[in-house]
Copies of this chain bind each other. A is one copy, B any other.
Amino acid sequence: MSGVVGRRLRKLDSLKKATGEAVYADDISLPRMLHAKILRSPHAHARIKKVDFARALKHPGVMGVLEGKELPGKYGIIPWTQDETALAVNKALFIGDEVAAVAAVDELAAQEALELIDVEYEVLPALVEPEAALADKANVLHEGNKHGNVTKHVDLTFGDVEAALAKSAAVVEENFFYAGSTHTPIEPHCAVAQYDGEGNLTVWSSTQIPHYVHRELSKVLGIAPARVRVIQPFLGGAFGGKSDPFSLEFVVAKLAMKLGRPVKCLFTREEVFWAHRGRHPMKMRFKVGLSKEGAIEAVDSKILIDGGAYSSFGLVTAYYSGQLLTGPYQFGTYHFDSTRVFTNKPPCGPKRGHGSVQPRFAFEVALDMAAEKLGLDPIEVRRRNFIGQNVKTVNGQQITSNGFLQALEAVEKASGWKERKGKLGYGKGLGVAGSMYISGTAYPIYPNDMPQSGIQVKLDRSGKVTIFSGASDIGQGTNSQVAYLIAEEIGCDPRDCTVVAADTDLTPVDLGAYSSRGTFMVGIACVEAGQKLWALLSQAVGEKWGVSTEQVDASWGTFRGPQVDQQMSFRDAVQLTEAKFGTLGATGSYRTEKLGGDYRGGTIGASPAYSFTAHVAEVHVDVETGQWKVQRIWAAHDCGKAINPTLVEGQIEGSVYMGFGEAAMEEMTYYPSGLHKGPSLLDYRIPTSVDTPELSAMIIESVDPKGPHGAKEAGEGPLHPVIPAISNAIYDAVGVRFTELPFYPGQLFKMLKEKKA
């Protein structure tokens, strides 16, 4: 109706960010505010015998201190695996683990005081490698864990995999390693707490899950949730790295309560590396069997997931590493066996494409290998295995719309695949990969029957539309999308919308920015709220004009009827409607769909809709040195419907960039002691704009029957195929395969030398 959805529009807050008006957590400064710093363990595994603050408390400017036993309550994003405390109570589990905190009148005084805290440690053996942790039954990180050092083991079988492998024409069996990487958001974690005389706690935090932070603060601090308010200010990037409750949120809150003054804590860049929650390193063994026509008969994987010291989302990671692989291709049979293990390193968690980027890499490379065995074109083998629309995957996930074939065709055409594949000469190659991802999960993390997402709208007689949205805009543009969707329904100019977001006092609950749930779930809530308001607006205006509600149309701030003279501003329409119905407001919700059903593993991994992606990468290799360069990546992504194509393209580009970084250079590396080799942006390298390949983002619109205006996710799916497409392209160029990340040129040089030999 309104011509807002589908249009290229600026983000509503882009100018605020460009001009510096946007207020981030660290921009908040309150009267009498103190600054907190956290002391971190120098040992990868150590029992804390004693914390002595005597010297620190004498340091000028120090106003208070905090140790673990003052906040012993455990928290964690997943209710069944809560194993973190604000500060270590008994043991420190990695180098960088939080041990004690100090609040002082400024950051420097707090930093200085950290060195005056005397901690007596009993050093324990460090378990840095997952195999060692798995094997060691005596030295358990989380004492009392009946599974030893295992966070979660998932072993699910769908069909007779062995039989299917046995009858396959081509079987590939290969080991893969996906290195750990971290998010490197520009903004480090920051939290500010204020505790007022009435016993109300307010915490501003650079979080992407204000609702869960709200819950955990209430629990750990022992304050009724109605007295806790969590506000997410503007966020300088997150990518999954801010989707756990973090120590600093509890530390500033408790210190504010103890000291009666506001307290801020801003992580240094080094501390962001300790906070981590990035991509899990995975060691994967894949067996893939294809029929001679190229049909995928069987997939069998065994995955060892290096979790780091705490659970974070690890339970989900274990499921996702298997459950999300079963599209866009039809699997004849499937088995996966994933084990997430605790190690004495910074905890891994959800990074863009959570849990499924690693097995996708392994599988898409293995599929390439199998296709080669069968003499099939890599695109053709993927096309033949297309699972289709409105089907169930082998593990029971219900796929609705599916634009994968169009995506595959788009990158095939754009890359000149048919004309160019195999004809570029030695050192130059094309590689393809596909993938599937979820648009949120049916699973609300903590069991409840309430909506996952809510919206409340107020229409003002000034023509202003205020949208209270719990959803977390982490830069992806959720706040703008919310405005577009409401504007589409009610016919206002989206620029007349004010979006109040992610403030647990002011906005309805939304579960947060994770699992690519935003556009789909809050979008449905927007449509519902907008439709309620449209019913009132169209009735009032229709009556005024003597026409039916169906004859009333509105877009971009103007209402129109069937007659030429039937025209009215949005503001006048609101006034007419308010005069008829009273103060105008409405709510909308996304109610969790009960999916699940006939497959094992509960609902983890089940999504109301799936996105699909196909990439082709063109790589040129300098065969003398092993240096390789992506000439271009063509990425076609089925997002269902692009609410704002510019934002979808931005998500595709960002995903490709991030995947490219993991393929090319990003890696969390540790000394045997468990010490990170370089927790800084000097040592941990990410691609600059100069390093970033040319990329073509293409939007495929399958118009999902369930999504808002047909929309599905776009923020994580497009990351997946980059890495295998590059590996496959390198193979196409020079005939050697990367099965381990990152694809270091030195390694390529070595492989080329070995191949020649």
On A, residues with C-beta under 8 Å from B are: 12, 15-16, 18-19, 21, 196-198, 214, 218, 224-229, 448-451, 454-456, 458, 460-466, 468, 495-496, 498, 500, 504-509, 525, 528, 571, 575, 578-579, 582-589, 591
Contacts and interface: CB of A to CB of B under 8 A. Distances in A.
A450 B460 CA distance: 11
Contact of A508 (B214, B458, B495, B498): B458
A593 to B, nearest CB: 13
A205 B450 CA distance: 40
Contacts of A583: 451, 454-456, 508-509, 525, 587-589
Contacts of A466: 505-506
A505 B464 CA distance: 7
A420 to B, nearest CB: 46
Given A15-B197, A19-B196, 18 more contacts: A18-B197, A21-B197, A224-B463, A226-B463, A226-B465, A226-B496, A227-B464, A227-B496, A450-B461, A450-B575, A456-B583, A456-B585, A458-B468, A583-B587, A583-B589, A584-B587, A585-B585, A585-B587
Contacts of A506: 458, 466, 500, 506
A507 B509 CA distance: 19
Nearest to A505: B498
Contacts of A587: 582-585
Contacts of A12: 198
Contacts of A229: 464, 498
A596 B496 CA distance: 37
Copies of this chain in its oligomeric complex: 2
Contact of A450 (B218, B450, B495, B578): B578
28 contacts: A16-B196, A16-B198, A19-B197, A218-B462, A225-B462, A225-B463, A226-B462, A227-B464, A227-B496, A228-B462, A229-B498, A450-B578, A455-B583, A456-B458, A456-B583, A458-B507, A460-B505, A462-B504, A464-B505, A466-B506, A498-B505, A500-B505, A500-B506, A508-B583, A528-B582, A582-B588, A583-B587, A585-B587
A727 B250 CA distance: 63
B505 A451 contact: no
Nearest to A260: B19
B585 A460 contact: no
A197 B10 CA distance: 13
A9 to B, nearest CB: 13
A19 B227 CA distance: 18
Nearest to A225: B462
A454 B571 CA distance: 17
Contact of A575 (B448, B455, B462): B448
Contacts of A468: 458
Contact of A460 (B226, B462, B500, B571): B226
List the 10 closest pairs (A to B, CB-CB), nearest first. A454-B583, A582-B589, A225-B462, A449-B579, A226-B463, A15-B197, A226-B464, A585-B587, A583-B587, A226-B496
A321 to B, nearest CB: 31
Q: Which of A198, A226, A458, A504 has the most CB of B within 10 A?
A: A226
Contacts of A460: 226, 504-505, 508-509
B197 A16 contact: yes
Query: Among A224, A227, A575, which residue has the most Cβ atoms of chain B within 10 A?
Result: A224
A508 to B, nearest CB: 5
Contact of A15 (B16, B196, B456, B584): B196
Given A585-B508, A587-B585, A225 B579 contact: no
A467 to B, nearest CB: 11
Contacts of A465: 226
Contacts of A507: 458
A137 to B, nearest CB: 41
A449 to B, nearest CB: 4
A107 B289 CA distance: 79
Given A225-B462, A226-B571, A464-B505, A495 B579 contact: no
Contacts of A508: 458, 460, 583, 585
Contacts of A19: 196-197
A600 to B, nearest CB: 26
A575 B507 CA distance: 16
Nearest to A465: B226
Nearest to A198: B15
Nearest to A12: B198
Contacts of A448: 575, 579
A18 B197 CA distance: 9
Nearest to A10: B198
Nearest to A575: B450
A171 B629 CA distance: 107
